[in-house]
Amino acid sequence: MNNNLMILPASKHTGIRLIRIPEDIEEHEAYRYVTGLIAKVEEGAEYNWDDILDLLEERGFEAVEFVLGPSLD
């Protein structure tokens, strides 16, 4: 099982997401791909996390459930 993960930060803690990177994609390539995909979705009038996730899943990314711990600062 692939353990390469990417945190998608957000201005509100409820918007933070964690995704698993497909095994056939290197980390730097995944970063560029996800950045481009998010920019593409943001061009539309209305979008939400599900719109982004649908496109990510088409390429093999997976959403990962997680627990956000307490702040360190």
The whole-number pLDDT of residue 58 equals 94
- Which pLDDT value is given to residue 8? 95
Mean pLDDT of 9-35: 94
With pLDDT > 90 as the criterion, what percentage of the chain qualifies?
68
> What per-residue confidence (pLDDT) applies to 1?
59
pTM, rounded to two decimals: 0.85
Task: Give the CA distances from residue 35 to residues 10, 13, 18, 20, 63, in Å, rounded to whole numbers and listed in that order.
Answer: 13, 19, 14, 15, 16
